[in-house]
A = this chain, B = another copy of it.
């Protein structure tokens, strides 16, 4: 139902980004990139969790040279994250599937042109990745970009100026990010830039914090943009094990119906009206269906208020009554069973759908 923004398409390894491709999920390693084994191991863990594109930081020449062995050890597309030193980008471009440049700290046109040439040679794209923490301030005012001011305008102005270097070289194999720590600034910046260009976007709320707050901030910011159809790939940034970033990322796109990662469970918050134990029942159902590959809408509802309606609207559902539950399948009541048998009977009906 979400109408996606039309963009050019780029490819990072075998993963297409933009131009109608599925919204892809990224994360970033936390290992020292020079420790090839540890980095390869963490990438394997991330890939197993559902990470589709992996980024590693490349802070020096030694790290850049390690990309060759890392690339050999993994299956996922590899993005090299570069700051400050364009020579590190030149070395990384020999091995990685995409180079990320920060316009805030590699900005000399002659240096950027060398990186562009290296990426063109190997046919790999560049992410132009602006961050509020490293962008040059004060350019936004003069640029007069519709719908934004302050930091958001500075980020966009910086990016648009930077893009001129690329376009002069006829290099369009680009995705863009505009990450700020504040949600509103980030969302406004992406919305405004969406009107100015047709490059695909990499989304994120930078420095969003520990898992509880970071999940909420990232869900709001990334989610609001995806609802607008803006965003082609993204990373949830969390101060945590990056596997957690992937879990949250997958849930965001799944809950918006943008990707199919198995069943979606709708379950009511219990209230004084629920006549069966909804929390336990839902937890048990979730545990049993979490690895099912098929996308299914499952409804677990406590009472007659919204229960029959939601349960009937789902592929399969339960609506609780007094010590009993009614099982629905594709809008039809198939069974009324006692609470004790509810889980097992529900699973039987579910299997018929698979």
Q: What is A's interface to B at a CB cutoff of 8 Å?
A: 1-2, 28-33, 39, 56-57, 59, 63, 81, 83-84, 102, 104-105, 131-135, 181-185, 187, 206-210, 212-217, 219-221, 223-224, 226-227, 237-240, 242, 245, 247-248, 251-252, 255-257, 264-274, 278-279, 282-283, 286, 299-301, 305-310, 313
Roughly how many angstroms separate A252 CA and B224 CA in the complex, as a whole number? Answer: 13
Roughly how many angstroms separate A282 CA and B212 CA in the complex, as a whole number? Answer: 12
> Contact at A255–B217, with CB atoms within 8 Å?
yes
How far apart are A279's CB and chain B's nearest CB, in angstroms?
A: 6
> Contact at A272–B30, with CB atoms within 8 Å?
yes
Complex interface: chain B residues within 8 A of A1 (CB): 184-185
Given A224-B224, A273-B57, A282-B209, A309-B131 contact (CB < 8 Å)? yes
Complex interface: chain B residues within 8 A of A255 (CB): 183, 213, 216-217, 220
> Contact at A207–B266, with CB atoms within 8 Å?
yes
Minimal Cβ-Cβ distance residue in B for A281: B239
Roughly how many angstroms separate A135 CA and B310 CA in the complex, as a whole number? Answer: 10
How far apart are A122's CB and chain B's nearest CB, in angstroms?
A: 23
How far apart are A121's CB and chain B's nearest CB, in angstroms?
A: 26
Q: How many copies altogether?
A: 2
Given A240-B269, A274-B30, A216-B219 contact (CB < 8 Å)? yes
Roughly how many angstroms separate A248 CA and B265 CA in the complex, as a whole number? Answer: 19
Contacts A56-B271, A221-B223 given; 14 further ones with Cβ under 8 A? A2-B184, A32-B272, A132-B309, A184-B256, A207-B306, A210-B267, A210-B286, A214-B267, A215-B216, A216-B251, A219-B220, A220-B256, A224-B224, A239-B270
Given A207-B310, A307-B133, A56-B215 contact (CB < 8 Å)? no
> Contact at A309–B270, with CB atoms within 8 Å?
no
Subset of 30 A-B contacts with CB under 8 Å: A2-B184, A30-B269, A30-B272, A32-B272, A39-B272, A57-B271, A81-B271, A84-B305, A105-B305, A132-B310, A133-B301, A133-B309, A133-B310, A181-B310, A184-B227, A187-B227, A206-B310, A207-B266, A207-B268, A207-B269, A209-B266, A216-B248, A219-B223, A220-B226, A238-B269, A239-B278, A239-B282, A239-B300, A240-B269, A245-B269
